[in-house]
Amino acid sequence: MIHTRLLHTSRSVLKPATMSARALELKENYTNIHNKALALNPSVRLVAVSKYKPASDILDLYNAGVRHFGENYVQELVGKAHELPKDIQWHFIGGLQTGKCKDLAKEIPNLYAVETIDNLKKCKKLDSVRKTVEGAQKINIYLQVNTSGESQKSGFIYDNLAELEETVDFLLSGECTMLNFEGLMTIGSFEASTSGEENQDFKRLVELKSKLDTKYKLDLLLSMGMSNDFEEAIRQGSTSVRVGSSIFGSRPPK
């Protein structure tokens, strides 16, 4: 009993000198990406995407000072959030079904953001459930925009803004008290991110931000850029990048 408790305690107070090889590797990978990102924009946020990776990996980075983590699957996120420190700022970045909004809003008081909102209904659901959770923090909402026009990508349609603006109107209304409209998110097409030129999908999101900022008097955050294109994304104006495999290593195929 005492032995177990000692093991648990020592885990969370690991000093650099006693770090495991994995903890050192993760810290080095994170620092490397973070430095590259900060060199392009000193105030950019790096979200460590930990889907499929064990809670111990997240804890290793947590002990190195990292707080923003991204997850793609509701059940996996709920499990990790229950197990891990309560000051982690969780980002949900996966495809979201309306039926799962309840779990996200209810089970994770320290849910920082849902980055993949693509309709009004999901906002209403998150807000109404969040109102019933005692001590929960407001959820930051990023509207996902399908900037590449690919049919397999979710998100608001880029060139039909009526639906998106209806959602913005709700988010900014007095009725919506537990959500904070913080930004826009996109996943660029593979082609656009490997062309080696200016990414047209990122450019579309930047243009949309500019329109919305003017119309609603906002300064929206831009979540764009992953392992293979985060530097280009920052050059084009991204203020929050989501990086997984360059930090944690490759994932098992789905």
Ligand X SMILES: *Cc1c(COP(=O)(O)O)cnc(C)c1O
- Interface with ligand X by CB under 6 A: which residues? 49, 51, 72, 93, 187, 226-227, 242-246
**Smallest separation (angstroms) from ligand X to the CB of 233:** 11
**Smallest separation (angstroms) from ligand X to the CB of 251:** 7
CA distance to 50, 97, 205, 224, per residue, from 92 (Å): 11, 12, 20, 14
Measured from the CB atom, is 168 or 187 closer to ligand X?
A: 187
Q: How far apart are CA 114 and CA 98, in angstroms?
A: 13
**Smallest separation (angstroms) from ligand X to the CB of 49:** 4
Residue number, nearest CB to ligand X? 244
**Smallest separation (angstroms) from ligand X to the CB of 99:** 20
Measured from the CB atom, is 74 or 243 closer to ligand X?
A: 243
Measured from the CB atom, is 174 or 253 closer to ligand X?
A: 253
**Smallest separation (angstroms) from ligand X to the CB of 225:** 8
Q: How far apart are CA 11 and CA 249, in angstroms?
A: 22
> 114: which strand partners?
92, 141
**Smallest separation (angstroms) from ligand X to the CB of 10:** 31
**Smallest separation (angstroms) from ligand X to the CB of 45:** 13
Measured from the CB atom, is 171 or 187 closer to ligand X?
A: 187
Tokens standing for residue 147: 């900037």
Measured from the CB atom, is 96 or 176 closer to ligand X?
A: 96
Measured from the CB atom, is 29 or 119 closer to ligand X?
A: 29
Measured from the CB atom, is 176 or 248 closer to ligand X?
A: 248
Q: How far apart are CA 44 and CA 223, in angstroms?
A: 10
